[in-house]
Structure 1
Amino acid sequence: MTTFSAEIVSAVLAHMNSDHNGDNLLIVRAFAESAAISAAMVSLDDTEGTWQYSDGHGVEHHVSLPWGAPISERAEIRQEIVHLYERACEKLGVEARPHS
């Protein structure tokens, strides 16, 4: 069960899917499917984020990735997504851009 309002979840998903599409794909390629051709964050709650992606054959899949620990504050969502992004960069050998 999520601890975040529908408005917060909607805002985070809109931001991730409009401003961080490449990050979504990087996360999916690192932790689910290296041949993914597209990815979008589709849900989140206090324990995980979920991405939908298309594999190399155009088949849609979902992957849920746990946060480091359960979260309850909006600012923690960003921290957990940035952490996933940084781990994905490390795993794939991609240089992570700095986050302020």
Structure 2
Amino acid sequence: MTLDPNAAAAILAHMNDDHGADNLAIVRAHGHPHANGADMIGVDLVGGTWLVHGPTGQTTVRVEWPGGSAADRAELRAKVVETAVAARRGR
């Protein structure tokens, strides 16, 4: 199963419009502790991709969802939330 492009666009808009602090926490927890901003630029059932803004420029980071791929959009939502919660807790 693949993620519908309209669903992916909606997820990206929601994450970037409403969850900027979560985006930043995720990239900081995944190898970019000095990031000062992050935008989610890609999402699929396997993971997400973020554009990282840092003191030396921009880069991207790909994060696979915990426990493996999501089966559908509902499970994907749960995995994004799980990733954000773990990042805020420093994991």
Q: Please, what TM-score do these two structures have when normalized by structure 1? A: 0.83
Give the Cα separation in 1 of the matches to 2:13 and 2:81: 16
User: In the alignment, does 2:4 pair up with 1:5?
Assistant: yes
> Which entry has the higher C-alpha Rg, 1 or 2?
1
Detail structure 1 runs of 4+ shifted over 6 Å in the superposition: none
SS at match of 1:87: helix
Aligned to 1:61: 59
Percent identity, aligned pairs only, is 36
User: In the alignment, does 2:44 pair up with 1:45?
Assistant: yes
Aligned to 1:95: none
State the shift of 1:36 in Å. 0.3
State the shift of 1:27 in Å. 0.7
State the shift of 1:13 in Å. 0.2
- Aligned-residue CA RMSD in angstroms? 1.4
Aligned to 2:26: 27
State the shift of 1:9 in Å. 0.2
State the shift of 1:44 in Å. 1.1
Q: What does 1:55-94 align with in structure 2 at a 5 Å threshold?
A: 55-57=54-56, 59-67=57-65, 68-91=67-90
SS at match of 1:91: coil
Give the Cα separation in 1 of the matches to 2:31 and 2:39: 13
Give the Cα separation in 1 of the matches to 2:34 and 2:62: 17
Gaps of 5+ in 2: none
Q: Which amino acid aligns with 2:58?
A: E
State the shift of 1:75 in Å. 1.0
